[in-house]
Each structure stands twice: as structure tokens, then as C-alpha cells.
Structure 1
Amino acid sequence: MSTDDPTDDRATHRTASLARTTSESSVSVRIDLDGTGRGTVSTGVRFYDHMLLSLAKHSLIDLDIEATGDIDVDAHHTVEDVAILLGDALKEALGDKTGISRFGDATVPLDEALVQAVVDVAGRPYAVHVGEPSGQEYVVIGGQYVGSLTRHVIETLAHHAGIALHVRVISGRDPHHIVEAQFKAIARALRAAVARDPRVQGVPSAKGVL
């Protein structure tokens, strides 16, 4: 899909569509880095759906995610497998990364919670996740989403997308707010990193390749 000038590479939408089925889940993801923040998400874990829709809205990345899994056992498999495919799709959609900004950072509040996220989409996978208050990893939100899944999503997304992702929870008390502020901060950082910069010629690296 492109705009009126098909010869302008910068006008072409960067998309990817992937599907993955295992004995634990079946997941399909479609991503458009040049979207408007539209999202349709159904994973069977409603709080996770809420977080992924926030990710879409604040990154301006269009997301279509459909997943079914063994949530009668645990939400872990489904949450992880969606993060795997989302990371894979992000990596594919970025392509050779010509003309992008590459780096992004954002500090996002949600009432008492405050989170900073910094990202480099250079192809070097790394995740740092710090600052959650003691006990956050054991909290269950919405009856299915365990707090420890947030770090797992961040690590999985970074590994499969090939990005360096640092997330720092600066403050927070409400478990819901702490998780949501993280997803929104990641979204805003990604929005900046994947954005096309008209001043960037080729790949934003002194090595000439990312």
C-alpha cells in the first residue's frame, strides 16, 4: 500500500503479516508502522488486550492481533507467543531501516506512575527492566495477567524485534497504572524510533548497515 507517488520509498507503508501455531497457542499479527494507531486485538487475556491497544494507539502503529491459547492452564503461553510474533513482525516491517530516526525515548505518567522507555532499533537485542515496586511481579490483574509477565513481554519483544529496550519505572503504586505506563512509554519511544526523518540519507549508522 502506498500514497499517490509510488516511486517515493518514504511514502510506502512498512507492513508485515505473520502467523504462528504451536501446541500451546495460535497467533496471527499484522503490523503497519505507518498507521494511525488503529488496533484490533483479541488474545483471550483482556488486560493484555488493553495494553496492546494502548501500544497501538500511542505508537501510531496499526496492529491486528488474533490469538487463542491454553489460558485455562495459564496466560503465560499466550502472552509470550503474542510478544514473540509481535517482535518478529516489527523486525520484518522495519526492513533495512533506511531513513528512520533509529533512537526513541519517552517518559510517560499515568497518575502516580511514571515510566521512562528508551529504544534503539539497530538490530542489537537487549532488554533492561528496572524499578517496579516490590511485589508487583506477584500481582494478578484482571484475573489472568500476572505482574511478572510485563518483564517477560519486554524481554521477548526486544529479542525478537532485534532492538535494545530500556524501561525504568520511576514511581508507581497502583499495579494497573504501573503496567499501563510501561506499555505507553514503550509505544511513544517506538513511535519516535521508527519514524522516518527526511534528513536521514540511507541507514542511520556510521557503519552503513543496521
Structure 2
Amino acid sequence: MRTATVKRDTTETKIQLSLNLDGSGKQSIETGVGFLNHMLELFVRHGRFDLELICNGDTEVDAHHTTEDVGIAIARAFSDALGERRGIKRYGSMLLPMDEALVMTAIDISGRGMAVVELEIPSEKIGSQFDTELVEEFFIAFARELGASVHLHQIAGKNSHHIVEACFKGFGRALGEAVAINQAAPDEIPSTKGTIV
């Protein structure tokens, strides 16, 4: 079983989570930020991971610390569950339409953290708590903590909710592909260097 539990406590957030990479998309997520909950539920469902997560953060300030720290904690769980990355496909990508929005997502679990996020989200906020600039913050935090190259490129879209939803759904599918076991080489570390971590 490729599973992990993470507990991360700071002065800004307190996070507990458990992750199963080989799940079915089951989730119980409470971040204190409704829109972030919704996006993480989509990410988990489309990646077919199982995730239980509780975050108590300083949402009375804003959603920034919660969004960033949740990205860090989830990525740490993925890193722990993947171990030395033996047998994974390593790469994943998805071109995902969400009504008028179209977003390309790609990931390389390379050991090197980098996020390139090219989005044109029309509104500054979605709902009452979520600043749309936090989409990029989430993926930067995730990429750095996992050690992965993450690309999100918007091809089309006018509705802010649809654009962001396409990002999280597409990322779930791309990451699900990247962490899947390569049945042709289930015991190999997918790097000519012999290591990824």
C-alpha cells in the first residue's frame, strides 16, 4: 500500500492528513475555505486518490496560509508515499475542457521543484474567501515540496470558476498518471541517474 500520513503544525496552520495513492477517489476534506475544499475534492476524485484532511488555519486573515500550507502538506504525503519513486511512470499530462475553459496540465516527478502557471483568471476572487492568485501559490508549493516540474497553461476560458476547476481536475488526472506503476518496469527508478529523490 502506497500510503502516508502527515501532521504539520505552524503558528499559521495546523494540518493532519492521510493519503492513499491507490484509492478510488474517496475524500473527507475540511480546510475552512469552501472553494479550496471543492477544488481538492475534484483533484482527489479525478486522480483516484483517497484523502482525509483537516486544516485549522488563520482564515480570519485570509486564505493564503491555508492554501499554501495545504499544498505543502499534500505534496509531502505524496513524496512519502512514493518513497524512492521506484516503478512510477514519472510523467503525466492532461488537456482538460471545462465548458468554455481549456487547460493543459503536465507534470514530471523529477526531483526538481518548478511550477510554471500561465493563467488569465478574470476575477480576483471566487466566493468570499478565495483570492484567485492563490491558485498559483498552491501549485508552486506543491511542486517545490514534491520535487516536480508542474506546468499549467490556459488555452481558453472566460469563467474564473471553470478555469480553476479545469486546473485542479487536470492536475489530478496528470498526477494520477505520473504516480501509476509502469507495468513494463515495475522495479526500476525511472531515471538514467538511478535516483530521483
TM-score > 0.5, shorter chain as reference: yes
Instruction: Name the CA distance, whole Å, in 1 between partners of 2:119 and 2:156.
Output: 8
Instruction: Name the CA distance, whole Å, in 1 between partners of 2:109 and 2:119.
Output: 23
Secondary structure at the counterpart of residue 68 of structure 1: strand
Q: Which runs of 4+ in 1 moved over 2 A?
A: none
Secondary structure at the counterpart of residue 108 of structure 1: strand
Q: Which residue of 2 aligns with 1:159?
A: 144
RMSD: 1.0
Instruction: Name the CA distance, whole Å, in 2 between partners of 1:188 and 1:163.
Output: 15
Instruction: Name the CA distance, whole Å, in 2 between partners of 1:78 and 1:209.
Output: 32
Q: Which residue of 1 aligns with 2:194?
A: 208
Shift of 1:78: 1.1
Instruction: Name the CA distance, whole Å, in 2 between partners of 1:57 and 1:131.
Output: 23
Is 1:103 matched with 2:88? no
After TM superposition, the score normalised by the length of structure 2 is 0.96
Secondary structure at the counterpart of residue 118 of structure 1: strand
Shift of 1:82: 0.8
Corresponding residue to 1:56 among 44, 47, 56: 44
Shift of 1:187: 0.6
Correspondences of 1:155-194 after superposition (within 5 Å): 155-194=140-179
Q: Which residue of 2 aligns with 1:91?
A: 79
Shift of 1:176: 0.5
Secondary structure at the counterpart of residue 78 of structure 1: helix
Q: Which residue of 2 aligns with 1:31?
A: 19
Shift of 1:70: 1.1
Is 1:146 matched with 2:134? no
Which structure: larger Rg? 1
After TM superposition, the score normalised by the length of structure 1 is 0.90
Aligned-pair identity in percent equals 41
> Closer, same or farther in 2 for the Cα pair 1:131/1:47, shift >3 Å?
closer
Q: Which residue of 2 aligns with 1:5?
A: none
Shift of 1:20: 1.0
User: How many residues align structurally?
Assistant: 195
Instruction: Name the CA distance, whole Å, in 2 between partners of 1:20 and 1:97.
Output: 23
Shift of 1:101: 0.6
Corresponding residue to 1:199 among 162, 167, 184: 184
Instruction: Name the CA distance, whole Å, in 2 between partners of 1:69 and 1:29.
Output: 14
Shift of 1:131: 3.4
Shift of 1:75: 1.0
Instruction: Name the CA distance, whole Å, in 2 between partners of 1:69 and 1:204.
Output: 37
Give 5+ residue unaligned stretches, structure 1: 1-12
Which residue identity is paired with 1:127?
Answer: A
